[in-house]
Homo-oligomer: A and B are copies of this chain.
Amino acid sequence: MQITSFNPRTGHEVTSASETSSSDLVSTCARAAQAAATLRDTSPAERRGWLNALADVLDKDRANLVAVADDETALGPARLDSELSKTIAQTRFYGDVAAEGSYLSLAVDDATDTTPAMVRMCQPIGTVAVFGASNFPFVLGALGHDTAAAIAAGCPVIAKAHRAHLGLSLRLAELAGSAMNDAGAPDGVFDIVFGHDAGVELVRAPQVAAVAFTGSQSGGLALWTIANERPIPIPVYAEMGTINPVIVTPHGAAAMDEVARGFVATFTSSAGQYCTKPGLLLAPEGSEALDRVLAAFRAAAPSPVMLTASIARSVHTGLAEMQAAGATLIEESTYADIGYGAPAAVLEVSLSDIAPGSRLLEECFGAVAVVCTYRTVEEVCAALRTLQASLVAAIFTGADTSDPDVAAVVDVLEGKVGRVVFNGWTTGAPHGWAQNHGGPWPATSNASGTSIGAAALDRFVRPIAFQSAADQWLPRAAQPGNPWNVTRRVNGILHRATT
């Protein structure tokens, strides 16, 4: 079977690819398993070399990659060029994180009179299946955060190409294969498969040890269910779309005009296709939040083009569902009547309509957002407690630090999100040692994991202890003299890698 990607601006075909057959999938998995055995014995520094080589070719092929991606996503060259730059930087970053070695959690307890010598360290979990996002073809795509983090941790990756960017996926796979091979990586360290059925078979494949997914709740939970039905279930790290509330405190409402403009600019940017899109603005009564959002919305005059025909349809469906759930449509933008145009929209709800189970608490993918006013901070905190968990929330506070309402709001948010942004917007999640891009169920299927930031590697390793092992039987990382120069703990004391 052939699958096809389309130009969202015109609806015309861009690229066709064959769905991966079952027999091809089997050999792809076998090749990855062989690579996994090799990777287990490579040092993080070696793998950093592969990732740096990959980053180099991504940079060299920049103009072509951006053009191909723009054809299939309509996200625009400027945004895509910037996204590719981030991808290049993050690819290098995960190599550096691996080389530092904390992800190994290497601990050495010498023998005592009553206890044996013990060495504990993490080993790569095995082949990782990566299901990239539609909305970030580079940063969270086939060669995005999940792939770089998995390879950095010593795991081969089989990516399932998103059907919206087949041409880009083919090009990325071609670049990745040759660049990493040239840098010394074994065959099978990265591969790509095409088609829905191949994706499902991938999650069921005995060689696959973990799944990383970025996308919709329905897609993520479907993979999670399949993975749990395996004879040997495997972890699924699904990062899913959420509503990502924004709370303006009474003090913060002094800057309501600026907040309203930022809100509109953020929720309409890239046609609102962010898993971190701020989908719900909670502002105090009297702040004229709705009027100011409406003014900004009209000034911005968004005209969204969605990534795919089905996403464009889902905007209409989502708008209808939100209205059926009690939201009032305040304004809808015009949009192109060719390709995958869809409206941007502002809706209003009353706080009392926000009840557990309501459609209003779920993401509406696209440039659609809801404005809601509250009377008291107690009231808004109570409402926040009923929200399903989100990846991120923002709070806008007074300019000084005496805002009396921040503590109560943050206290609630801490239990509801993976990241709290102060006086800023939720989109954009730069990689770093301190980033967390995750959150309680159903923001993710595994709240202990993050898909962005140094801790992303932790998802793809498994601890093992060696008791009373002679030095030469220990994994290389754990041998005396610290041959890989990694951070480790000796008799309870942490020693960092020397730089």
Contacts and interface: CB of A to CB of B under 8 A. Distances in A.
Interface of A: 100, 102, 105, 107-109, 114-116, 118-120, 123, 125, 228, 232-233, 235, 401, 406-407, 410, 414, 417-424, 430, 432-436, 438, 440-442, 445-448, 450, 453-455, 458, 461-470, 472-473, 475, 487, 489, 491-494, 496
A410 B470 CA distance: 12
Nearest to A100: B492
| 7 A-B pairs with least C-beta separation | A436-B465, A107-B434, A118-B434, A109-B434, A120-B434, A419-B465, A421-B467
Nearest to A461: B448
B123 A433 contact: no
Contacts of A401: 470, 472-473
Contacts of A463: 418, 436, 438, 448, 450, 455
A467 B422 contact: yes
B467 A118 contact: no
Given A419-B467, A422-B469, A448-B462, 18 more contacts: A100-B492, A108-B434, A115-B430, A120-B435, A120-B436, A120-B453, A232-B440, A232-B441, A401-B472, A418-B464, A422-B467, A422-B473, A424-B468, A434-B489, A438-B463, A440-B462, A448-B461, A455-B463
A468 B487 CA distance: 28
Interface centre among A100, A228, A418, A432 (most CB of B within 10 A): A432
A354 to B, nearest CB: 17
Given A120-B453, A465-B419, A494 B489 contact: no
Contacts of A420: 464-467, 469
A91 to B, nearest CB: 17
Copies in the complex: 2
A119 to B, nearest CB: 6
B432 A235 contact: no
Given A420-B467, A422-B468, A468-B421, A407 B473 contact: yes
Contact of A423 (B423, B468, B492): B468
A118 B448 contact: no
Contact of A465 (B418, B445, B469): B418
A422 to B, nearest CB: 5
A454 to B, nearest CB: 7
Contact of A441 (B108, B233, B447): B233
A430 B111 CA distance: 11
A85 B442 CA distance: 42
Contacts of A445: 233
Contacts of A462: 440, 447-448
Contacts of A100: 492
B116 A410 contact: no
Contacts of A421: 116, 467-468
Interface centre among A432, A467, A469, A492 (most CB of B within 10 A): A467
Contact of A466 (B232, B419, B491): B419
Contact of A406 (B228, B440, B464, B473): B473
Given A421-B468, A450-B463, A467-B424, A435 B118 contact: yes
Nearest to A431: B115
A118 B469 CA distance: 41
B123 A414 contact: yes
A419 to B, nearest CB: 4
A162 to B, nearest CB: 26
